[in-house]
Amino acid sequence: MTDPGKNSQKVMIRIGFDEGLTARAERLLKALDLSEVAAKVTVNWNKRLRTTAGRAYSNLAKIELNPRLQLLPDEKRDHEINQTFLHELAHVVAHARNPKRRIQPHGDEWKQACADLGIPGEERCHSLNLGRTTRRKNFAYICPACEEVIYRVKRMNRSVACYSCCKNHNDGKYDNKFKLIEKRLV
């Protein structure tokens, strides 16, 4: 069921500072009357994150997201990025509202912040869920340059290039040279 049109679609993996998400975080914090934090919040894609979807340095109002979220299948990607972003932002909100108190990371203050940010009932942990872990991976995607490997249950129907190599050798822009090579695993 591969759509040939989609095969030619190219995806650039974003890393580093994210202007759009930072602006969104700023707006959301202002809407909650947290202007001081809104002025310093930053959202970054950190390629060093391995199995963590995201994390927040609440006292610095710094949010980090795993660039691998961008490699999720089309039907999951936007939702997972949004959910992770809001989950981490809720940590920032909870801390900003309780600067002097030690609060539980996923306690009542955080749950309230999730509700205020439009994700009531958020319960996820921070680990990156690339499909059920017990599920067998059927495909491997290998970078021809650095040989980094990404395993997937389903076939990717987009052209995806290695983010480290595009960053290091092509100013972070998509380069066919670093297009991942598909291998079907038996």
Q: Smallest distance from the beta carbon of 16 to Zn ion, in angstroms?
A: 16
CB of 39 to Zn ion, least distance (A): 23
Question: In terms of CB distance, is 3 or 123 closer to Zn ion?
Answer: 123
**Minimum distance between the CB of residue 5 and Zn ion, rounded to whole angstroms?**
26
Which one, 71 or 162, has the nearer CB to Zn ion? Answer: 162
Q: Which is nearer to Zn ion, 39 or 181 (by Cβ)?
A: 181
Interface residues toward Zn ion, by CB under 5 A: 143, 145-146, 162, 164-165
Q: Is the dihedral of CA 164, 64, 82, 34 positive or negative?
A: negative
Radius of gyration of the chain (CA): 18
List C-alpha distances in Å: 5 to 8, 11, 52, 98, 109. 6, 14, 32, 50, 46
Nearer to Zn ion, 34 or 162 (CB): 162
From CA 58, how far away is CA 130, in angstroms rounded?
26
Pick between residue 81 and residue 143 the one whose CB is nearest to Zn ion.
143
* Shortest separation between residue 63's beta carbon and Zn ion, angstroms: 11
CB of 54 to Zn ion, least distance (A): 8
